Chains A and B, each alone.
Chain A
Amino acid sequence: MDLPSNNILETTLIGTGGGYGESIVLHLGNQNWIVVDSCVDPKTNNSLPLEYLKSIGVKVEKDVKLIICTHWHDDHILGISKLFEAAKNAVLSITKTSDRKKFLQLVELDYHKVESNSSISSTIELKNCISIANNRRGTIKTASEDRVLFSSNNSKIKIEVISLSPSDFVVHEFNEEISTLMKDFGNPNKKIVFNTPNDKSVVILVKINDHRILLGSDLEVTDDPRKGWLCILNKSQCIDAKSTIFKIPHHGSSTGYHKRIWDELIAENAIAKLTPWNRGNKLPKKDMLEKYLNHTPRLYSTSLNLNNKSKPRKRDRSLAKAINKFNSSLIEIKYHLGIVKCSANLNTQNVIWKVNLHDEAIQITANNIQKL
């Protein structure tokens, strides 16, 4: 993989198989780089988007302009503080909260548990990012509905990166959730477990000249039109054209799907890409992949769990037998690195996306759906 030239638009989806996160790296032309979310290699704990940027020769310190944390779940935030530390010129963007001080108290409260090994990775990452921003007297830009997070306009390339969610209603609602999290998980013998829908997720619309890219994060569809995808579909004032690249929300789950998203926001034969989820209720399901294929034949995943046999980690044989005697349900959440890279020339009138697959990334076809 090489450094793209200034006229090449690139979106690179990095997936880990679900357990260790996902990230999207975008080159918006003229060495303007933005990164949406972060993930890690569990063996090294290195930030994968940072490794990727370095591997292709990006001047991370200078050229990464914006880092967006779409929501603070482990599968979207791991490694983001290392990335932010390296990207000295970047602005960090996180979900808006109506009571910021209370949110910071929650982060501090959970970080306080770090010595007893009870903090969650998300708060450690956030706390580190906050400290970095404080040390460099930097800016943290909050993301909410229809907000421009980054823009650039030179003679040839006009860029806007816009957050379409969370809605004002969700931001207000999040306030109550923070209080509950502090009450329920403040004790050092507990780790925070998120049990609420992904309605705080930040959906990103990227506009570059006439190109549109929609990054669905983990936003789900709810019956309440004040939140989720229905709110974007009904209220957004920023969507002016259909996107030719779509990061399918929430690992291709049925809760992230609404026909209107595809009809109203996504161009015909667009490139759709997703990352799978390998824990518990595995995603995507076969029926959903069939549904996506009806919308576009250009469907990609960073990996696909074709072999459903989950096992524990490899260990000494006698120990493995003892473990199996006591608990046969033990399974390892495997790490499956895959990269789906799409590139297009900004100088051409018609959008022609070229797709490159790396590591375990795969194009999903009717044939390989049958093997699931």
Chain B
Amino acid sequence: MEGDTALKDHWILDREHSNEQVKPHIFRIIIDSLEAKVDERKKYLQNSNTNIEFDSNNDFLKIPKFESFNSDYYNNYIGKSQNWVGHVIEIMHDKFTAKLQDSNYPGTYEIANFEMEEISQGDKDLLTLGAIFYWSVGFAYEKGQVSKKSIIRFKRSAYLSENDIDNIADRASFFDKNINWDD
């Protein structure tokens, strides 16, 4: 579905904690054990009586370093999660009400109230009537620990281009002229 594809990018829990990212964590363990064996071999050669010239800078003895490898990041992933697309239908002093459509299983919709303090500072300006947001609740696995997480992120969009507006006006004029309007 077109809508699903467009929405998937916005699931912050999915993006930051994907099950796909468990794999690099296993690679890290393999690399660590290889490095330990190489270090052991280096020490043995340095301490041996045999006349072998050993250059500790020799590249072939080095295990490549993964500088950009952020192990904390890859230790984290989400297990079960529930995602909704919501839009604000009422704003009160310290909370707002939203209509929510379940993204996992569309069908009947839900309604919920949210406290203002649940909204990140950067999203507060986006909280207006009709504003669309994404809400995810799930189990996060962080460094082997399980915790429940709830994340709300408001949608950001570019304004319409001049070309878009021209097309909209053209289509409106087309239907105005071509349909038989009986007033």
Q: Hey, which bits of chain A sit against chain B, CB under 8 A?
A: 19-20, 42-43, 91, 96, 100-101, 104-105, 107-109, 112, 115-118, 130, 133-134, 137-142, 184-193, 195, 279-280, 312-313, 315-316, 318-319, 322-323, 325-327, 329-335
B7 beta carbon closer than 8 Å to chain A: yes
Contact of B172 among A105, A133, A141 (CB under 8 A): A105
Chain A nearest CB: distance from B180 CB in Å? 4
Q: A112-B164, A333-B109 are in contact. List 17 more A-B contacts (CB 8 A).
A: A19-B109, A96-B183, A104-B171, A104-B173, A105-B169, A130-B179, A134-B175, A140-B179, A184-B129, A193-B89, A195-B129, A319-B82, A322-B138, A327-B114, A327-B150, A330-B100, A332-B108
The residues of B that contact A100 with a CB separation of less than 8 Å are: 176, 181, 183
Is B28 on the interface with A (CB-CB < 8 A)? no
CB–CB B168/A130 < 8 A? no
Please indicate the chain A residues that have their CB under 8 angstroms from the CB of B167 in the complex.
112
Q: Is B94 an interface residue (CB 8 A)?
A: no
Q: Which residues of B contact A191 (CB under 8 A)?
A: 87, 130, 132
Q: Say yes or no: A331 contacts B172, CB within 8 Å.
A: no
Tell me whether B182 and A139 are in contact (CB under 8 A).
yes
Query: With A116-B157, A327-B114, A327-B150 in contact, do A334 and B108 touch (Cβ < 8 Å)?
Result: yes
Can you report 9 A-B residue pairs in the complex whose CB atoms are below 8 A from each other?
A42-B108, A117-B3, A184-B130, A187-B157, A189-B156, A193-B87, A319-B81, A326-B150, A332-B109
Which residues of chain B are within 8 angstroms of A319 by Cβ–Cβ distance? 80-82, 137-138
Q: How far is the CA of A334 from the CA of B3 in the complex (A)?
A: 24
Known A-B contacts A108-B172, A193-B87, A193-B129; A142 and B150 likewise in contact (beta carbons under 8 Å): no
Q: Top 8 nearest A-B pairs by Cβ distance?
A: A104-B172, A326-B150, A190-B130, A188-B157, A189-B157, A330-B112, A105-B172, A329-B113
Is there contact, CB below 8 Å, between A189 and B155? yes
Please report the C-alpha to C-alpha distance between residue A107 and residue B159 in the assembled complex, in whole angstroms.
Answer: 17
How many contacts A-B (CB < 8 Å)? Answer: 156
A333–B107 CA distance with the chains assembled, in angstroms? 10
CA distance A101 to B3 in the complex (A): 29
Report A-chain residues with C-beta under 8 Å of the C-beta of B126: 189
Closest CB-CB distance, B135 to chain A, in whole Å? 8
Alpha-carbon separation in the docked complex, A326 to B84 (Å): 14
User: Given A105-B172, A280-B97, does the pair A186, B160 have CB atoms closer than 8 Å?
Assistant: yes
Indicate which residue in B3, B148, B178 contacts A325 across the interface (CB closer than 8 Å). Answer: B148
Question: Which residues of the other chain, B, contact A333 by a CB distance below 8 angstroms?
Answer: 108-111
**With A42-B107, A142-B181 as given contacts, are A313 and B148 in contact (CB-CB < 8 Å)?**
no
Measured in the bound complex, the distance between the Cα atoms of B135 and A367 in whole Å is 42
Q: Please determine whether A312 and B129 come into contact, CB atoms closer than 8 angstroms.
A: no
A32 to chain B, nearest CB (A): 19
Tell me if B139 is interfacial: C-beta within 8 Å of chain A.
yes
Measured CB to CB, the nearest residue on chain A to B85 is: A117
Given A104-B175, A115-B2: A331 in contact with B82 (beta carbons within 8 A): no
B109-123 contacts to A, CB under 8 A, are 109-114
> Complex formed: what's the CA distance from A104 to B172 in Å?
5
> Could you tell me if B108 and A19 are in contact, using CB atoms closer than 8 angstroms?
yes
- Nearest CB to that of A312 among chain B residues? B110
Closest Cβ of chain A to B85, distance in Å, is 7
Instruction: Determine whether B30 belongs to the interface, using a CB cutoff of 8 Å to chain A.
Output: no
Chain A residues near B164 (CB-CB < 8 A): 112
Residue of B nearest to A101 (CB): B176
Nearest Cβ on chain A to B153's Cβ, whole angstroms: 11
- Asked whether A318 lies within 8 Å of B139 as measured between CB atoms, the reply is yes
Whether A322 contacts B148 in the complex (CB less than 8 A), given A115-B2, A189-B131, comes out as yes
Chain A residue contacts of B107, Cβ below 8 A: 42-43, 313
Q: Does any Cβ of A come within 8 Å of B128's Cβ?
A: yes
- A280–B112 alpha-carbon span in the complex (Å): 10
- On whether the beta carbons of A193 and B130 are closer than 8 Å, the reply is yes
Cβ contact of B182, chosen from A115, A142, A313, A335, cutoff 8 A: A142
Complexed CA–CA distance, A96 and B179 (Å): 15
Chain B residues, CB < 8 A from A137 = 180
Compute how far the CA of A185 lies from the CA of B171 in the bound complex, rounded to whole angstroms.
Answer: 19
Q: Which residues on the B side are within 8 Å of A42 (C-beta)?
A: 107-109
Interchain nearest-CB distance for A77 vs B (Å): 16
Known contacts A115-B2, A279-B111, A329-B113; is-contact A192 B176 (Cβ 8 Å): no
Establish whether residues A141 and B108, one from each chain, have CB atoms under 8 Å apart when the complex forms.
no
Q: Which B residues are in CB contact (< 8 Å) with A318?
A: 80, 139
In this assembly, does B35 line the interface, its C-beta being within 8 Å of a C-beta of chain A?
no
